[in-house]
Structure 1
Amino acid sequence: MGISQYLKEIGRGVRGARALTREQAADLFAQVLDGSVSDLEIGAFCLAMRIKGETAAEMAGFLDATEARLNAFPASDRPLVVLPSYNGARKLPVLTPLLALLLAREGLPVLLHGMRTEARRVTAQEVLLALDIPALEAPEKLANGTLAHISTAQLQPGLARLLAVREVVGLRNPGHSVAKLIAPSTGPTLLVGSYTHPEYLEVLCGTCALRGMNALLSRGLEGEVCADPRRAPRYDAFVHGQHLPVQAQQPGTAPEVPGLPSSIDAASTAHYTRAVLAGALPTPPALAQQVEYIVQLSRKVASNTSAARTA
């Protein structure tokens, strides 16, 4: 069905708009990714969905279309830990590279992917470059204990184009949610996901359940997947789509984080990251806890995947 018909369904405002089925959402998003619709139609789609909001079925459909078009990484020996990074630093240093390196040190294959979506923020990719970790030009098999990062354009050019619409209209669109939920590998993955607004957790959980995902969800640091170093957030896990509550939100906020730089620039953040990895500064307890949960969940995903293959 042409995109104009879908726009009539989703573009009737908050009260009049109708939700798409998973299959319809996949068809619509495929047209957007494949570039078969005009810029005007893409703008209409972005604004209509911004007003209506996505359902879990629509998000599942958007992801179906995206993952069918991904340049995927070959399967790793262990579940590939996927860290989407699209928000960057605004007030506090972006600690997603530190989380990624702590996970790699635990022997996990780790992939960080993303792109700049806001001009004034410091990105995780900039910090990784400051740590002398170059970006990949194309997907490749990642060994255990390896961290790699790659741009969204290398994974799915159409998705990168959709994310860039934000520079024109000034608003997020479904592409931002999709980018944070993709599993760019032919083998088992463990997504580390985040949300900013608590009400969005319901949609995320519904999407993970519908698509049988492996994921650890929490309220991250300024939209990033790394834990806020000052707080212990709520964690929700999914293994093959089954919901496993992990930790409730813990009260209290740490007054300070030892050694955390007041500047958010890439060089200062890289210096702090190196100091933590070298043991010169302590790992923030919130990040240490997040690493522990991810390692445990990775083992569970691997065990369940092995059991399913032998069943």
Structure 2
Amino acid sequence: MSDTPIEFKDFIRIIGRGQRAGRTLTMLEAEQAMSMIINGQATAEQKGAFLMLLRVREETPEELTGFSQAFRAHTPTSITELSVDLDMGCYAGKRRHLPWFLLAVMLLAKNGKRVFLHGTHEPDSKRLYLKEVLPQIGFEVAQTPDQAKVALDTLGFAYMDLKHINPQLDGIIQLREQFGLRSCANTLARMLNPSNAAHSLQGIFHRKIDVKHRETAALLNDANVLCFRGEGGEVEFNPLRDVTLHLSRSAQQSSEEVKATCETFITKPQELDAKQLISIWNGELDDTYANYGVVGTLSLMLVLVDKLDWNVAYQQAQQMWQGRDKTWPVALPKYNLAAETFDTTGKHYAH
């Protein structure tokens, strides 16, 4: 490709000409193409064709790197300057279990780390998202970087919706309602690290995507990234399943196999009540799966942030969970006392 400006249709032609004539995009081409989409230099039809061609063929780490660079260039400095230790993209939502990873986030925050959470709500996915859960248990969803800073300073963690961070990227995710399929935007949102934190924890659902995350992190030269197949695709350790931890630290890649930590048969609840997060935290309710899920997720965080061996991290996480201050840190709003439970039955979409 020449250095002279080209039309967006040229990028579609590159990836869409078939197995013999077509090819993948270079990192520079990928960054140029996504920048044109972000800047409105592609029609709606061109954007749809581009994203769905990639969806069918699947993106390469080089393409994901270029796309990530384009979106990161559009992250407001007011967010990148929040001073955060750990960034977590919460984009899968939950359908079988409550977001127990939130309790692990609270524990890490109580031990001096600042955690920035971000996510969105996918149309028609029929999942329970973190931004729906937080208000029910007394936490505010930050609408602005200033509100996020207040939450980080007072609680040690904050959540912002992607539409307030990178509306262009969120807009592509919302196109699922029209396409009926997810696009690379779901992957890019997990990789975004809008807070420019030194550490990024990424959960995915589909096999082999974790390797692609690791390879992309290496190409981006991100300082510390840990990607794994989380429960339902979320950033939560599944104690019932063996998992591979994929790490990239300043382009140095590694992986580690971790065995399932819970051998007890767990029956999936038919309803999810967000207030049970409080009951588990304050000790009023005991749940085997929740305990293992919280400790396992906290262990992942310690492996990433404190560079601990898994066994050491797990032992430390158990001690932190058992020794926690069981007082719920915020007051509960009266309106949530009759909050509806989430039905776990029926069809849900994986991402």
TM-score, structure 2 normalization: 0.76
User: For 1:295 and 1:150, how far apart are their aligned partners in 2?
Assistant: 23
Structure 1 residue 196: Cα displacement: 1.6
1:107 aligns with 2:134: no
| Matched AA of 1:101 | M
Residue aligning to 2:247: 237
SS at match of 1:143: helix
| Matched AA of 1:67 | R
1:57 aligns with 2:62: yes
User: For 1:144 and 1:239, how far apart are their aligned partners in 2?
Assistant: 30
| Matched AA of 1:162 | I
SS at match of 1:150: strand
Residue aligning to 1:274: 278
1:127 aligns with 2:133: yes
Contact conserved, 1:3 with 1:41, CA < 8 A, in 2? yes
Residue aligning to 1:306: none
Q: Residue 228 and residue 118 in structure 1: after superposition, are their counterparts in 2 closer, same or farther (change >3 A)?
A: farther
| Matched AA of 1:81 | L
Residue aligning to 1:285: 292
Contact conserved, 1:110 with 1:145, CA < 8 A, in 2? no
Contact conserved, 2:8 with 2:41, CA < 8 A, in 1? no
Structure 1 residue 226: Cα displacement: 0.9
1:1-311 aligned at under 5 Å gives the runs: 1-13=6-18, 16-72=21-77, 73-75=79-81, 79-119=84-124, 120-140=126-146, 141=149, 142-143=152-153, 146-186=156-196, 188-213=197-222, 214-245=224-255, 247-250=256-259, 254-256=263-265, 262-265=269-272, 268=273, 270-280=274-284, 281=286, 284-300=291-307
User: For 2:141 and 2:297, how far apart are their aligned partners in 1?
Assistant: 25
SS at match of 1:10: helix
Moved more, 68-77 or 49-58: 68-77
Structure 1 residue 279: Cα displacement: 3.3
User: For 1:134 and 1:180, how far apart are their aligned partners in 2?
Assistant: 22
SS at match of 1:113: strand
Q: Residue 293 and residue 90 in structure 1: after superposition, are their counterparts in 2 closer, same or farther (change >3 A)?
A: closer
Runs of 4+ in 1 over 6 A off after TM superposition: none
Q: Give the share of equivalent positions with the same residue, in percent.
A: 24
Structure 1 residue 117: Cα displacement: 0.9
Contact conserved, 2:239 with 2:262, CA < 8 A, in 1? no
Q: Residue 2 and residue 99 in structure 1: after superposition, are their counterparts in 2 closer, same or farther (change >3 A)?
A: farther
User: For 2:68 and 2:228, how far apart are their aligned partners in 1?
Assistant: 20
TM-align CA RMSD:
2.4
| Matched AA of 2:269 | S
Q: Residue 272 and residue 102 in structure 1: after superposition, are their counterparts in 2 closer, same or farther (change >3 A)?
A: farther
Structure 1 residue 33: Cα displacement: 1.7
Contact conserved, 2:98 with 2:277, CA < 8 A, in 1? no
In structure 1, list runs of 5 or more residues that go unmatched: 302-311
Q: Residue 211 and residue 45 in structure 1: after superposition, are their counterparts in 2 closer, same or farther (change >3 A)?
A: same
Contact conserved, 1:195 with 1:219, CA < 8 A, in 2? yes
Moved more, 127-136 or 91-100: 91-100
User: For 2:96 and 2:166, how far apart are their aligned partners in 1?
Assistant: 30
SS at match of 1:284: helix
Q: Residue 88 and residue 65 in structure 1: after superposition, are their counterparts in 2 closer, same or farther (change >3 A)?
A: same
User: For 2:155 and 2:65, how far apart are their aligned partners in 1?
Assistant: 31
User: For 1:61 and 1:28, how far apart are their aligned partners in 2?
Assistant: 9
User: For 1:271 and 1:263, how far apart are their aligned partners in 2?
Assistant: 15
Q: Residue 251 and residue 131 in structure 1: after superposition, are their counterparts in 2 closer, same or farther (change >3 A)?
A: closer
Contact conserved, 1:96 with 1:226, CA < 8 A, in 2? yes
SS at match of 1:248: strand
Q: Count how many residue pairs are aligned between Structure 1 and Structure 2.
A: 293
Structure 1 residue 249: Cα displacement: 3.9
Bigger Cα Rg: 2
| Matched AA of 1:94 | P
User: For 2:56 and 2:292, how far apart are their aligned partners in 1?
Assistant: 38
